[in-house]
Structure 1
């Protein structure tokens, strides 16, 4: 008799389905809020938020792609849309002429500031409101090692490029 395929036990399966459903519901609500408040896609918001959170307001394109777990070609397209809207600027990297650096503009910061309160409201209301403060700490403690484990062998689009010496 052949070996049976690997399976998840009922608790694992329930946890997996709950995580997928929570993620899908939260992402849908966030995407809807971002579209209504700023005509932004989820990825565009992630890019602006990462740039806005950076002390310099800038990141290399490859680092942005790695951080938001998005294909490099897809990221190039999204950054192009943001650049066309005047929300970011692209320029050759000062330390590596093969790299491109993206910088958030004042208009990008203004839009980010406009959509951020609604974003926080959606995330807080849907994800954190039903949880106690201790639950939130436990959730963060549970998700951090999973994220780190997944980042240890990320999909190609999220894998850092090897740098030549």
Structure 2
């Protein structure tokens, strides 16, 4: 019996290519705006925005890595750069002595306030402008379903660390 290779129908293929191209184009525009307005990389902005949005202005670094879909070591490096710039502080977690908590500073909130107007303008102009409010709602619903499906599997940063002897 011949094996059938997995394939995408034309609509699926079109949706996938449109999504990847839009994602790349928007990210490039956002990265340029963040660098010009606040000397922030995309990941640094994500970190600051998540901290700024959290009730205490703090999160465990592992949770941040999961949220921004970034490696633990990469997040540690970015946190170090943000800390050096005075935008965050790092401290042992009060809930788990093995964890480190990152907290946004007043300077970090100030940088967010500086970059947000331009960030919002880029999104409104490049992403939302060609869509109706109804289209945006449908897109949000569709992407939320995909995100929730992807998040049902724990992110790589939540997986147990492999020891050198395990390799």
Q: TM-score, normalised by structure 2?
A: 0.92
Aligned residue-pair number: 161
In structure 2, C-alpha distance between the alignment counterparts of 1:113 and 1:160, rounded to whole Å:
34
Pairing 1:38-49 to 2, within 5 Å after superposition: 38-49=38-49
Partner of 2:97: 97
Deviation at residue 161 of structure 1 after TM alignment: 6.3
Asked if 2 retains the 8 angstrom alpha-carbon contact of 1:62 and 1:160, the reply is no
Partner of 1:54: 54
Which ranges of structure 2 fall in alignment gaps of 5 or more residues?
Answer: 162-167
Pairing 1:124-163 to 2, within 5 Å after superposition: 124-157=124-157, 159=158
Structure 1 moving runs of 4+ over 2 Å: 159-162
Asked whether 1:118 is paired with 2:115, we answer: no
Pairing 1:57-96 to 2, within 5 Å after superposition: 57-96=57-96
Q: TM-score, normalised by structure 1?
A: 0.93
Asked if 2 retains the 8 angstrom alpha-carbon contact of 1:63 and 1:160, the reply is no
Asked if 2 retains the 8 angstrom alpha-carbon contact of 1:66 and 1:160, the reply is no
Secondary structure at 2:55 match in 1:
coil
CA RMSD of aligned residues (A): 1.5
